[in-house]
């Protein structure tokens, strides 16, 4: 009964501590009263000039959740002005959006930030690192069916053909690598995929559709017509969609799936901010299939849109709390050595920012890490360093056989193998 009460109190303490931490916004004593944005500045870098916790940037702007989704836009040449309202610091922009003239046209700065969130090309990261999508997307996805000279590998500049495309536009080619499951429940979360390249549709004249009669149309799909391999046999046929490979990240293969490209690079702009609710996640995958990750690498979390995560959410990475069994030495006076179990608190080892979100999973970039980040590490709201978070209370094994079983369980989890 006592153990249950202690666990409940720990859980309540964790739930209460997040809002308390979220209320603190500490301005740096050397925060500039006026700052002119320069080319090469990042939103994260400017935030660090004003705040000890850069992810609290929206609160310095007095921004609510709706504004975060359509945040203030900052451009080189603008001046940021620090003022105080009822004793609280507030930041505003002096001047309108500057126009940068590029020959032979004027660059449109009306969408997205004039400066990036951090010094990372999130679109390139998205392309080059494994991502997770819903398996249902792959089930109905168009596929590459052929290319030049009957080749099965394609590269930049090749004209290729696809089945199942219904809309013109730009597409990403990809292939599935593995399923991702929740490490605690075993629940299927999504499908990890690797992108191989970018393609754009080419205009195709479907002249053969003109041969389709009204009678044929009753038995055919909208884009089908009949071809004849034998005088008595009619074969439903459709024209493959032609595409041009505009960029190859890796080998593009016959059979690769196609996914509509995110709408412009604006899809990768975001405002760093605190999560709106308590997030308790784990790292379930690290880019390139390795077990450890460091700064500016991608990690996959087992929480997503359904759990309240949004693009730009900043989370802390923690090494889980654990138990240590120690033997205290004999004390003067003849006291015997005793065994003691100690709880080692969870240690905050880095920060990560979510940049892509699906229903049950999200991709995040590690912004800072004091040590290597591993699969299975905890990811939650900032501010719980050296906090005895109630995540795992397995006792340290007492016997060599228990130690062997414990080591095997840890290896089994790190290898992402489920028995």
* 10-residue averages of pLDDT along the chain (419 residues): 38 38 75 90 89 87 55 76 87 68 40 67 67 80 91 93 89 87 81 88 75 71 69 74 90 92 65 88 78 78 91 90 75 67 85 88 88 89 82 52 51 40
| Cα 19 from Cα 16, distance rounded (Å) | 6
Of residues 263, 280, 283, 310, the one with CA closest to residue 111: 263
CB 342 within 8 Å of CB 323: yes
d(CA 356, CA 366) in angstroms, rounded, equals 13
d(CA 206, CA 229): 19
Architecture of domain 280-329+338-414: Beta Barrel (2.40)
Query: 372: burial class by Cβ within 10 Å (0-12, 13-18, 19+)?
Result: middle
pLDDT score of 9 = 33
- For position 397, what pLDDT does the model report? 54
pLDDT at 115: 76
In the chain, where does the domain assigned CATH 2.40.10.410 lie? 280-329+338-414
For 338, the 3-state DSSP assignment is strand
């Amino acid at each position: 009964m006592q153990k249950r009460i202690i666990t409940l109190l720990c859980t309540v303490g964790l739930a209460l501590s997040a809002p308390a931490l979220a209320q603190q916004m500490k301005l740096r004593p050397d925060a500039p009263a006026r700052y002119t944005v320069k080319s090469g500045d990042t939103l994260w870098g400017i935030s660090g000039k004003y705040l000890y916790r850069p992810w609290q940037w929206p609160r310095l702007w007095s921004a609510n959740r709706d504004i975060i989704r359509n945040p203030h836009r900052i451009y080189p040449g603008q001046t940021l002005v620090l003022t105080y309202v009822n004793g609280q610091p507030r930041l505003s922009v002096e001047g309108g959006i500057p126009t940068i003239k590029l020959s032979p046209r004027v660059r449109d700065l009306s969408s997205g930030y004039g400066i990036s969130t951090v010094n990372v090309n999130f679109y390139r990261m998205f392309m080059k690192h494994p991502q997770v999508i819903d398996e249902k997307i792959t089930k109905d996805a168009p596929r590459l069916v052929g290319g030049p000279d009957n080749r099965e590998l394609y590269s930049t500049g090749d004209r290729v053909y696809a089945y199942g495309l219904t809309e013109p536009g730009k597409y990403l080619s990809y292939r599935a690598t593995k399923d991702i499951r929740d490490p605690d429940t075993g629940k299927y979360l999504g499908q990890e995929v690797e992108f191989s390249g970018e393609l754009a549709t080419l205009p195709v004249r479907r002249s053969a559709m003109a041969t389709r009669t009204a009678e044929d149309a009753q038995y055919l799909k909208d884009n089908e017509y009949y071809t004849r391999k034998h005088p008595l046999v009619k074969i439903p046929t459709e024209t493959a969609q032609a595409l041009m490979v505009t960029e190859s990240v890796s080998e593009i293969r016959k059979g690769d799936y196609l996914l509509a490209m995110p709408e412009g690079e604006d899809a990768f702009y975001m405002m760093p901010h605190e999560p709106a609710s308590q997030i308790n996640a784990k790292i379930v995958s690290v880019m390139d299939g390795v077990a450890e990750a460091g700064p500016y690498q991608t990690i996959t979390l087992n929480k997503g849109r359904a759990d309240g995560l949004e693009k730009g959410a900043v989370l802390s990475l923690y090494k889980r709390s654990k138990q240590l069994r120690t033997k205290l030495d004999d004390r003067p006076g003849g006291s015997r050595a005793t065994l003691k179990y100690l709880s080692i608190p969870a240690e905050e080892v880095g920060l990560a920012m979510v940049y892509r979100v699906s229903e049950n999973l999200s991709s995040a970039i590690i912004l800072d890490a004091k040590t290597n980040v591993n699969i299975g590490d905890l990811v939650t709201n900032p501010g719980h360093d050296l906090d005895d978070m109630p995540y795992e209370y397995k006792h340290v094994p007492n016997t060599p056989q228990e130690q062997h079983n414990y080591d095997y369980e840890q290896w089994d989890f790190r290898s992402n193998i489920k028995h």
